[in-house]
Structure 1
Amino acid sequence: MPILIALIAAAAGVLNTVQSGANASLNKALGQPILAALIVAATNVVIYLLAAPFVGLAWPSGRFANVPWWAWLGGALGATYVLAMIFLAERLGAAIFTGITVTAAIVASLILDHYGWVGFAQHTAGPWRILGGLLMIGGVALISVF
């Protein structure tokens, strides 16, 4: 894997953790979790529109019929994650919230890769991958207890 791609992914992980705190703080300041989530969504739209000149934006005429049913759920799943952030990140703290969500994502990723579900290429969950998932679970247990 090229180092630049790995660095960008690592930066996205850092931003995800900072986002949890920012969203929770927005909710705390406003006292309105749905309003906070709507502001997050509106900010997302602005960023997407600012990125459009660089990555392109066109209406995919005739391609909607080719979209698998589960692909339409991405936005709803993202919104659910933002609401979880808004409600839980401050209560749990950055380490525990991020640890739980990342570990759950790793375990789910192992399953999705193993079976090649939701558009991912099939990658067998061999012993090292399973051990990695178990170590992630152990790490969350350690930061949650101590």
Structure 2
Amino acid sequence: MNYFSWLALLAGAAIGIQAGMNAQLGVLLKSPLLSAAVTFIVACCCVLIVVAITTRQLPSLTSVQSVPLHLWFSGAISAFGVASFYFLIPRMGVGPMMSFALTGQLLVAMLVSHFGWFDLPIKPISFSKCMGVLAMVAGIVLINRA
């Protein structure tokens, strides 16, 4: 595994820990939406600090204006996903929730890659990828078996 693979593994682990922590925050605050708001405020502050430290030049106004309108709304998708995690984890548990969430992520990621949406590299769906999805679904059935 290379550096990027390890970083991706750590990012996934961080999401698993963060989801459980913020779900508990939502339970204690009696609002998964408030928990999501707190999460995004803290995350925004952290990212702004890193941007301030590492960014040498901000994008030009022309660059900002050239961004397609739909890309500015990805935060709404994040808010839905994060708030859904915090709502569902206390009801389902972290393991089952993450197994379903990961399945949704991988299925959509395969479609995004297959069609090259958002100008990303095209990676066609293959037989081996389909077999991997079937193995993953079988794993989810086993993980969530009572």
* TM-score, with length taken from structure 2: 0.91
Aligned-residue offset at 1:50 = 2.2
> Is residue 23 of structure 2 the alignment partner of residue 24 of structure 1?
yes
Conserved? CA contact 1:99–1:140, under 8 Å: yes
Question: Cα distance, 1:40 vs. partner?
Answer: 0.7
Provide structure 2 residue ranges, at least 5 long, that are not aligned to the other structure.
none
- Residue in 2 that maps onto 1:7: 6
The 2-side partners of 1:4 and 1:78 are apart by 26
CA RMSD of aligned residues (A): 1.6
| Number of equivalences | 145
Q: Determine if contact 1:114/1:125 at 8 Å carries over to the other structure.
A: yes
Aligned to 1:78: 78
Match of 2:100 in 1: 100
* Structure-to-structure mapping, 1:1-146, within 5 angstroms: 3-56=2-55, 58-146=58-146
Query: What is the SS of the residue equivalent to 1:123?
Result: coil
1:70, 1:118 within 8 Å by CA — same for their partners in 2? Answer: no
> Which stretches of structure 1, 4 residues or longer, exceed 4 Å deviation after superposition?
none
Q: Distance between the aligned counterparts of 1:54 and 1:102, measured in 2? A: 32
d(CA) in 2 for partners of 1:89, 1:119: 33
**56-65 vs 37-46, which deviates more?**
56-65
Residue by residue over 1:57-97, the C-alpha shift from the partner in whole angstroms, topping out at 9 and shown as x without a partner, is 62531223321233122111111111111100121111111
- Looking at structure 2, the residues matched to 55 and 130 of structure 1 have their Cα atoms a distance apart, in angstroms, of 40
User: Gaps spanning 5+ residues in structure 1: where?
Assistant: none
